[in-house]
Structure 1
Amino acid sequence: MVKRRERTRQLIELGGLVTKAGLVDLTDDDRAVLLGLMVEAAATLQGEHRDQALTLWRRRGRRAFAESAAEL
């Protein structure tokens, strides 16, 4: 039961990140587009530019979190 609750929480948080990034609005909640974006990101992470992509995306994510916190 605890593992199920943890998994549910994780899924809710991940959905929140998709929303926070503006992807739901930008894609008009098109699930195929959202999945395509994530499949494309996964392909990038399997390629030779993995480390550069992770560094770039981590910086952008941290900046977005900081901007969001500053708005509060």
Structure 2
Amino acid sequence: MRRTRLLDRKKDAREKIQLGGLIVKAGLRETDKAILLGILMDASKRLGDINERDRWRAIGKAAF
């Protein structure tokens, strides 16, 4: 059980680091955190729009 918690914490930390890396890659490192959260919350509401989703995916794939 203790090992499982440790592995879960490591997995969680790695995921957070990767997500932070996306912010840096997008050129948003210096952006106010409240603005970033607002952008992400607004985008999460738009995820149901398949056209928007496809457009964002294309932009992201091109950036990678």
**Does the alignment reach a TM-score above 0.5?**
yes
Q: Which ranges in structure 1 are unaligned for 5 or more consecutive residues?
A: 66-72
Number of aligned pairs?
59
Q: Percent identity among equivalent residues?
A: 41
Write out the 4+ residue segments of structure 1 that deviate beyond 6 Å after TM superposition.
none
Counterpart-to-counterpart distance in 2, 1:51 and 1:10: 25
Could you tell me which residue of structure 2 aligns to residue 64 of structure 1? Answer: 63
Q: Which ranges in structure 2 are unaligned for 5 or more consecutive residues?
A: 1-5
| Structure exhibiting the larger radius of gyration computed from Cα positions | 2
TM-score normalised according to structure 1 size: 0.76
Q: Which runs of structure 2 are paired with 1:47-62 in the superposition (5 Å)?
A: 50-62=49-61
TM-score normalised according to structure 2 size: 0.84
